[in-house]
Amino acid sequence: MACWNVIDHTELSGNATSYEVTSISSAYEHLYCVISARSDKSGYNYEQVDIQLSGDTGSNYYSTWFQMYKAASPFSGGYLTGRTHIDGAYINAASQAGDTFSPMEILIPNYSNAVGDKQVIVKGGCPNWSTSDYEYMVYLVGGLHDSTAAVDEFKLTLTDGNNFIQYSTFTLYGINGA
């Protein structure tokens, strides 16, 4: 039976430029982060969330993503290599309805293994009460961090340097026995 251990739970009491957990123990098998967040980026429906591991800001990240919208061209996707973060995850920005926070889940399996790249699996969505095209989406992201070092830091920032708004929540779990 799996045991879920809360490593960190944060609910923002004000806006913040990032969410970061440092000194993560290697005592677990997997890391799993559950997020409900929103950006203060004005004039846009979405903002990209960047994922970095172990304080690595080098060009050591690879991402593949798939997004689905309600629109005439409902699918998009892509692949990027040699990036400074994992790409393809999004949250609602200021142009979305004010009470819609975006759910996101991030799994980092075998994060403390010292062999091979670190895998990152992200799923999420940007809900909205509108039925207009491109005003909501769901997505899947597969990312790699080109490092054999155990993940001891986990950081989320917003691509355009905006803020996660007040009441955004982040819970990082360490999972054993799964």
Cα separation of 143 and 88, whole Å?
9
Report pLDDT for 40. Answer: 95
As beta bridge partners, residue 120 has 143
User: Do 11 and 167 touch, CB atoms closer than 8 A?
Assistant: yes
User: pLDDT, tens digit, for every residue of 76-128?
Assistant: 899 999 999 999 999 999 988 778 999 999 999 999 998 889 999 999 999 88
Cα separation of 156 and 171, whole Å?
12
User: Do 119 and 109 touch, CB atoms closer than 8 A?
Assistant: yes
Tokens of 114: 């010292």
Cα separation of 127 and 94, whole Å?
13
Domains annotated for the chain, with CATH where assigned, are 3-176 (2.60.120)
Which of 44, 42, 63, 25 lies closest to 143 in space, CA to CA?
63
User: Do 78 and 25 touch, CB atoms closer than 8 A?
Assistant: no
Report pLDDT for 133. Answer: 78
pTM confidence score: 0.95
**Of all helices (H) and strands (E), which one includes residue 87?**
strand 86-92
Q: What count of other Cβ atoms lies within 10 Å of the Cβ of residue 146?
A: 15
Q: Kindly indicate the confidence band of residue 178, based on its pLDDT and cuts at 50, 70 and 90.
A: low
